[in-house]
Amino acid sequence: MSNRGVVYIGPGNVQVRDIRFPDLVLREGPGVPESNVGRKCEHGVILKVIATNICGSDQHMVRGRTTAPEGLVLGHEITGEVIEIGRDVEFLEKGDIVSVPFNVACGRCITCRRQDTHICLNVNPERPGGAYGYVDMGGWVGGQSEYVMVPYADFNLLKFPDKDQALDKILDLAMLADIFPTGYHGAVSAGVGVGSTVYVAGAGPVGLAAAHASQLLGASVVIVGDLKEERLAQARSFGCETINLMEHDDAGEQIEQLLGIPQVDCAIDAVGFEAYQHGTDHEESPAVVLNTMMDVVQAGGRLGIPGLYVTEDPGAVNEAAKVGSLSIRLGLGWAKAHHFVTGQSPTMRYHRDLMHAILSERANIAEVVNATVISLDEAPNGYKDFDKGASKKYVIDPHGMLN
């Protein structure tokens, strides 16, 4: 059978190309560690991809801000239908509609057993943690494609209980692979609870998901900050307060206008290392979000940091930042006894509960992030529009099943 996927060609360039049809073996390819080549996956399944999203994390690679190899098949947000089952799969059947956590996890190691599936010890020989279609994450082939292989399927996959219901809610359920659990993890890590006042840095899809998650967790006020008015308008559309950091670069002053004090209970970083100095959209300042959050979060508060930070950034503004060393005011955070929670979201910790929130219509995540369906062939233009700051979450429809 044939297969096509979105392939990273070089900085600023992705193309839809013919790629290998998946089988239950991790084959040699771009980014696959030598010791992972030939890894047998009889515990895996082959999926026909129903929906696969473009993520802001993908954009970091496409901009050339990582060491991603050319030829890498992109995509770690995957929802699909099981069409082939490995010998060792017991609890899934052909025809099941499933969500794929972006974390590749074995289910056997100590970190998986404590639900830290984002730092599985057995799927990536180079460092803890694996993911599909991502640099330094074990070489697992990405899912912005027509078909994809998923290992350790019984453990990893979230099966939707009713196929027709799933297809009716598919745009919302497509967000369970990454963005919704990631935003939710940011809110949980920040300690959001009933009555909390929350500052969310960034009104991209993850920031919007974090804001909606904060509302679900009972926050009294959610304030979203960004440099782009279009994205802030999207945050206001579902009840958030907003601050425009292009027009007024002091977040604390704007927060004080809303709350009467220049502080919040907690904050969420949904921007990461490609941050811009407040008041400009061209002067990079990779630590500005973290420093701002320490400034505006009250003493003893928590900072959830799902925003991506990398160990290698070839395009960084200085030599220190190229290896992930940023000018963070740690002394301020120490003095205020802040709690910091970093790292990828352990998706499996949250995705089942969030699925039920969607199916019971408690969560409307597709509307919140402005989910916008495009074809596989439209993916390169989707990357370009997203890179310009479009307030949309692009959902790729490889087989024309979503229209």
Give the tens place of pLDDT for each residue, 137-176.
999 999 999 999 999 999 999 999 999 999 999 999 999 9
How many Å apart are CA 167 and CA 252, to the nearest integer? 44
Quick check: 94 pLDDT over 90? yes
- pLDDT digits 0-9 by tens, 20-66: 999 999 999 999 999 999 999 999 999 999 999 999 999 999 999 99
| Percent of the chain whose pLDDT exceeds 90 | 97
| pLDDT reported for residue 281 | 85
pTM of the model: 0.96
User: Helix (H, G, I), strand (E, B), or coil: what is residue 230?
Assistant: helix
Kindly give the interhelix angle for 288-296 and 251-259, rounded to the nearest 10 degrees. 40
Residues 209-259 pLDDT 10s: 999 999 999 999 999 999 999 999 999 999 999 999 999 989 999 999 999
For position 138, what pLDDT does the model report? Answer: 97
- Res 403 pLDDT > 80: no
Predicted local distance difference test score (pLDDT) of residue 278: 95
pLDDT digits (tens, 9 = 90+) for 178-197: 999 999 999 999 999 999 99
- Spatial contact of 197 and 223, defined as CB atoms under 8 Å apart: yes
Task: Work out whether strand 264-269 and strand 297-305 pair parallel, antiparallel, or are unpaired.
Answer: parallel
